[in-house]
Amino acid sequence: MCLAGASAAQVVSGDGGALSVVPRQTVAAFDALFDGPRDGQRAVHTKGLLLEARFVATSEAAGLSRAIHLSGSEVSALVRLSNFAGLPDLADGAAAASPRGMSIKFLLPDGGSTDIVAHSYNGFPAATPEGFLGFLRALAAPEPHVLAEFLAAHPAARRFVDTPKPAPESYATETFHGVNAFVFTNDKGKARHVRYRIEPVAGSAHLSAEAAARRGPDYLTRELADRLRIARVAFRLMAQIAGPDDDVVDGSVAWPGDRRMVELGTLTLTGIADDQAAQGSLLFTPLNLVDGISPSRDPLLIARNRAYRISYDRRTGRAIDEGSRHVRPTN
């Protein structure tokens, strides 16, 4: 297993050719799938809820990474929980609402930020940007045989489609996975490939399709608001450490469950943000990194980073400097 991770700046500045085209085509494919684009809206994970949070790292976290937010001091954070589809009015219990998304923006003492982007499926439908684009185009194709033929030839996509994705009882009872690997480096220079897992302290709990439909179209928002009136909601941020033979560049392949897990800290949701419209001005991207965390060679990291920036530019009408590591949220 190669532990040589590129820096975020190298990954962003070094892409070109197909990687410059495929992310834009991917956003267009989401538009075709969900009848977009819609002014001021994300191309995918459109319906979301913004929350305020705080994060406190464990003492074990610093042994894995020298990243500032893993030092043990409390940091503030913004968390966006979302449904999958690019449909702003999609009912929370609909099949297209899964997998759910969780994006975290840690607000750092130096005025910068660093992000985690995760979803509730442990894996990805494809190993490459081109493969994912092909999957989206097959989903949007009007002829059923196109998708059937694509799934027959692409096991990861077939696995994604066939895996049950039940609606959660609550956003507070869903587990989220960061499917791309990152390289954590501690203050002694030791580097390890890891993947994030975000586990609900309340435990995982899901609903049948019938029960979810009875809860109403916005039940996840209402339930979480009710829950937060009683107590704060917490998640454990975990790092799964790759074994010597684990694939660190293919996000479609889940690592075995017996791999070592290290608890990085506790993310506590403290309340629903007053200004929900601020979601549109927030950019969450997997390559918004800090010293001590660097990207793996997974090609989907570059493609996801570019696609999120394209969607951000489109909904806000302003471009992002690709040489900038940090995007400070607008509150």
Helices (H) and strands (E) in the chain, counts: 9, 10
Q: Which residues are catalytic?
A: 45
| CA pseudo-torsion sign 179, 83, 31, 321 | negative
Sort 208 into a burial class: Cβ within 10 Å, 0-12 / 13-18 / 19+: exposed
Q: How many Cβ atoms are within 10 Å of 181's Cβ, its own excluded?
A: 27
Contact 249, 135 (CB under 8 A): no
Percent of the chain as helix, strand, coil, to the nearest 5: 35, 20, 45
Contact, 309 vs 283, CB < 8 A?
Answer: yes
- Residue 145 parent element (H or E): helix 144-153
Give the C-alpha separation, 280 to 306, whole Å: 17
Q: Give the integer Cα–Cα distance in Å for 148 and 152.
A: 6
Question: What's the full length of the chain, in residues?
Answer: 331
